[in-house]
Structure 1
Amino acid sequence: MIKVSILYPYRENGRFDMDYYCATHMPLAAKLFGPALKGWSVDAGINAGPPGTPPPYVAAGHFLFDSAEDFYKVFKPASEQLLADIPNYTDGGNGAILISEVRVSV
């Protein structure tokens, strides 16, 4: 199983609408990805370890797929619509994408 993570860097005074991201953008992506998507989640950054420090990322969206090929197959036709929605929740542009292999899940 692979995880596709979109990491949105923390920026002082940057705008990130977590409510919109969780309630509108991520469900839109899930709908567009269809049954190839095995699950999704969102992390909201809290800090960088020590209390009071800004987090390295304000948010991370995660999608689970059986393979990277499954992701690429559904992302390509959905990409234009998903990329066009980014300004609705952030002024920070596209996040960084990390595709990783899930080795352990509990």
Structure 2
Amino acid sequence: MKSKFLVMYLLLAVSFTAFGQEKQSSKAKKQSSAVVEQGLIKVSIMYPFAEGKSFDMAYYASKHMPMVAGFLGSNLVKYTIEKGLSNGMPNQPLPYVAIGTFYVKSLSDYQAAIGPHREAIRADFANYTNIIPIILVSEVVR
């Protein structure tokens, strides 16, 4: 009985913490409602929480992510920005302050588009954070 309750609690906690809400323009709302298709490449840029670190979400959402999205051109299907709220387990530290995600059609086209702008992207980090991000490239299975 306790394990059943724990599983239900964890599922509920994860569902509440997995989704932050940000104000979106009508274009962003249409973009975010696009279906994520199997086979797309997902590039997740995760910013781990740590004491003494800072993150300017307003700059990230209004300047940095749109700049990078612009470099991706027609390869970009959509991008999302998540603001970390809490850990899925009570009394545990926040795992990530933010996660930015790009969904693209081709990994090689993504790499070709980002390559020439890598230094500009890295230089812009100083405008919104002092956190070194973790990047995960994956394929959407479902």
Same-fold call, TM cutoff 0.5: yes
1:83 matched to 2:125: no
Contact 1:33 1:78 in 2 (8 A): no
Q: CA deviation at 1:53?
A: 3.5
Instruction: Output the CA distance in 2 between the equivalents of 1:96 and 1:3.
Output: 14
Counterpart pick for 2:55 among 10, 16, 19: 16
Do the aligned partners of 2:75 and 2:106 also contact (CA within 8 Å) in 1? no
Which region of structure 1 is more displaced relative to structure 2, 46-55 or 76-85?
46-55
Q: Matches of 1:35 and 1:16 in 2, distance apart?
A: 29
SS in 2 for 1:21: helix
Superimposed CA distance per residue, residues 13-67 of structure 1 (whole angstroms, 9 cap, x where no aligned partner): 3110011101110001111221121110111111111345432111111001112
Aligned residues: 103
1:30-69 equivalence runs, <5 A: 30-51=69-90, 53-69=92-108
Larger helix fraction of residues: 2
Mark the runs of 5 or more structure 1 residues left unpaired by the alignment.
Answer: none
Structural RMSD (CA): 1.3
**Structure exhibiting the larger radius of gyration computed from Cα positions:** 2
Distance 2:122 2:114 in 1: 11
